[in-house]
Structure 1
Amino acid sequence: MERQVSNRYRLIEPLGEGGMGVVWRAYDELLDRTVAIKEVRYSGVGEAKRAELNRRTIREARAAGRLDHPSVIVIHDVVEEDGRPWIVMQLVRSRSLAQVIHEQGPLQVGQAAVIGGRVLDALRAAHATGVLHRDVKPENVLLADDGRVVLTDFGIASLEAEAGLTATGGLVGTPAYMPPERLNGEPARPESDLWSLGATMYAAVEGEPPFKRDSWAATVAAVLRDEPKPPVRAGALEPVIMGLLRRDPAARMPAEQAVRILYEAASTPRHPTPSGHPRPPAPQQDTSWQHRPDRTLPVARKRGKALWIGVPAAVTAVAALGTAGVLLANPWTTPTPTPTFPAPTTPPAMPTTGPTTGPTTGPTVTPTKKPAPTLTSRPVPAGWRSYTSAAGRFSIALPKRWRAAKNPQRDSISVSGPGTSGELIIEWTVPDLPWNDPVKHWIGLEKEIRAKGEFSRYTRLGITSTAYLGRRAADWEFTRERDGELIHVINRGFHTADGRPYALYWETPDALWDRDRHYFDTFAKTFRPG
């Protein structure tokens, strides 16, 4: 007879087992879904200590369950049965980073930058709420079949690590990824997670952790006393890896600085030589997590504050953007051929106006000897003025007395003014999962929003392919209810020739749509990337 936990979760099969318990595939009889359940076991401790650890495990797992981030494992439930905690989590169909490294060897720099950036973004979100991980390592970084990077064992690893250190004087876990202050018995801190991230990224690009030795004791000694051997394959990631592996936590590279380096390493394209062939260094992946939550386009507002809706998980790969050169291929199993790219003066091929029917892996480029076209400025309409955003690298015409405000948390600018209650948002955020087909991107995002019930009385009016600035674009038009009022939205998504994604998002009360639509048309006509 199959076992049930809490008269609800039917255990199906073990997915993995470690020193602190077993992870099961299970079926949630109440909600009719498959989940993962971690059965946490504490051994080698007395009953009083075990009861205390159980209480703390449940308390911290519940705290971790409040984290809302696409790169943090979702915790559905926490129960206690048979004297031990059971943590019910989202079942992520994936392979761990450790498994990928073992089977495929070191990752390319761009791939490691993307993965490191996702994990760092998850850690920053957790640290902002007071949650530490304490066990960041390749085994706990999941590379999902749908293209996500997910950090697991939040709120669980922290207790396991402590229990392993205090129960029998031994150490549970892999010391190669544990920071020296933890091995010295000092309390964990956010910098401790950063050290472990550095060791994880080192392993990603080198194939093994920086302090790997022949024995457990030798590894611990190396972490405590040795300097890490400089990586030879890290390329642009060497500064961030070595900065995170500084022995003194106070001297460790801050998360904000690491984010910038990872972003640059992931977004720097590989430029061709005069012969037209790519340069030898490994190309980089274009994606971004800079100074903001891991979200994408502004498609909802509530009580005057923007809600940022996540990129759809139903994306089969972390695809390259623009001039980026390497894909993180689904399902993280096979290397992707490196495409070549034209010189900066070579114009891109004109895209079709309709959506593609097959998977896309990047823009198609057709060589040509014609000079590159230029996008000239449109005349500023009467009564409007020119506005340039250095941060967003674009210019646009705005009605006089309208003001543009930079969002301090996002890569976006909001534009509003007298004469209408409508608002324009221009965003250049690189999404969590980069996209190539704007129609498919909007359809996927719409699917996620509807599944989550984000919009009240949502009605799609159209997701239409169009050509914009000589590039493939898509207009997503819809209505929804907000604070009892029906609003009308058009959201144009596109990439510039150099791969930067933009969204021009216009919303206004539905009753004023016909009167105010000309604002969006003029904004779109005068927008020019810099």
Structure 2
Amino acid sequence: MSEESRLIAGRYRLLDRLGRGGMGTVWRADDELLGRRVAVKELHPEDAGGGRNSSPYSSAAAPLREARAVARVKHPHVIVVHDVVVDDGLPYIVMELVDGGSLAERIARGGPVDVPEAARIGLALLAALKAAHQLGVLHRDLKPANVLLEESTGRIVLTDFGIAQLAGSTTITDGGSFVGSPEYTAPERMQGVRAGPESDLWSLGVLLCAVLSGESPFRRDSLGGILHAVVEDEIRPPAQAAPLLPVVLGLLERDPERRIGAGEAEELLRTYVTTGSVPLSAARPAPTRKDNTSPAPASPASVPDGSAAGAPALRQPVAAPTSGGRRRAPLLVAAALVAALAGAAGAAAVLFHGDDGSGAQAGPSRTAASSAPTARTEQSPANAPKPNPTVTVTTPPVASVKKPVAPKGYLSVADPGGFALAVPEGFTRSQDDKRVYYVAPDRGIRIGVRVQNATPDGSLGAMRRSHADGPSTNPGYRDGKVTPTTHNGLPAALWEFTWNGFSEAEGDRHTIDICWDESGRMYDVWVSAPVGRADEARRHFDTALDSFTPAG
């Protein structure tokens, strides 16, 4: 039986993959017992706490408990969980199938939303969170990618409770992994202390900023930078958030005890929906510092209306919660978290440090220059041209990337370029100024990765430019085709072509290349191989793409 038609639990037939994330793979499936279409989430073995040979009541116990907790939440804006099953030692969560994309896809495709739509989204998510919190369930990963928009009705659905926990959980797991998305994580969770419903409300404040402006106000080039921004740096809501500023400032209050509650946030958003404005007197002053000095309050006079050029910065450098009368500095806690996340990833990068003859060598962290007009042109590691930089992209440290599980015959690599993937055993790493390569021992097959800033016309436009430039960048370019597609639910473009290779000894080659935008960056993954080894190359391409994990 093929992977696409697997039958699990004697009932759910997996049809096609909808997406893959850090917590599992989501499939479109048929419930053959009830004759309905569903979504099935296959939890990754490492996230289930075991593997196929583990006892289903030990390896799957934690995620199944969480799924059952979420299944108790009955609300129109919360994903419906139909069933939780164990098949061949692995847990699966069966959910309703929402016909529509995510909020992240909508922003990537059409840009930020207007203020009325942001208020509508905020109200729906507040209602969903209130229903979950009343049952003691925390989401812990509220972000645009985990919000679905039903195409036919416009219904907003909060999904992916895959890391949800009952109230009182911390951000660091027993295995030392970071739980959640750092840009959307509340400062108290960054500091490793127990958190409650207030943490989800902080994430909602970040989400409102992101949907109104296109990105989180805590977006930085590294995990360390994000941690500093969340815990210590000035909070600068985007100018687009000015009409909802009292709500945003209230939710982005670093002290959870002073953060506005769901009821107050809901009241303010409903006021905007009915009147078109939020009373400026609702804006809260910044908290008093621990050294008894107080920053200037966000008074009504300082809160701009929708025509203002920007929103004020809000400085909230609060200390971590106390324990036994002792204070902990937020930045020290953040630094410890960065150090804890470094782990084995650095060792893998050292293992794959190599030189393929081009003289390019890997470092622990580097700054990549990008000319940005095209996604990429096929290049041999030994023949890559010098860059023409106009945009600088600082890649995150390897510590911020979680290594994927590698199938048999492959090794899991956390690359210094700010991503992780599975590559065939025996392949060696090299890089030039723009690209990272993993090359077969006989140098016949090359896996390439390039990370650069997203371009205004997106991945499809970038690939079409590369296709147009194909004859000038790839000798004997022919049979080129660019196809719109998706990757992990995000808009993507697939480019395939055949060419003559860079030398007569190389011979005819075939290249498979996919490009997509994610979190403000453009990711490009490709495999190039002799035409006679196209099937082998496609297997490597599929494995690299399925396992590819960007930083952050």
Return the TM-score normalized by structure 2. Answer: 0.46
Higher relative contact order (CA 8 A, sep 6+): 1
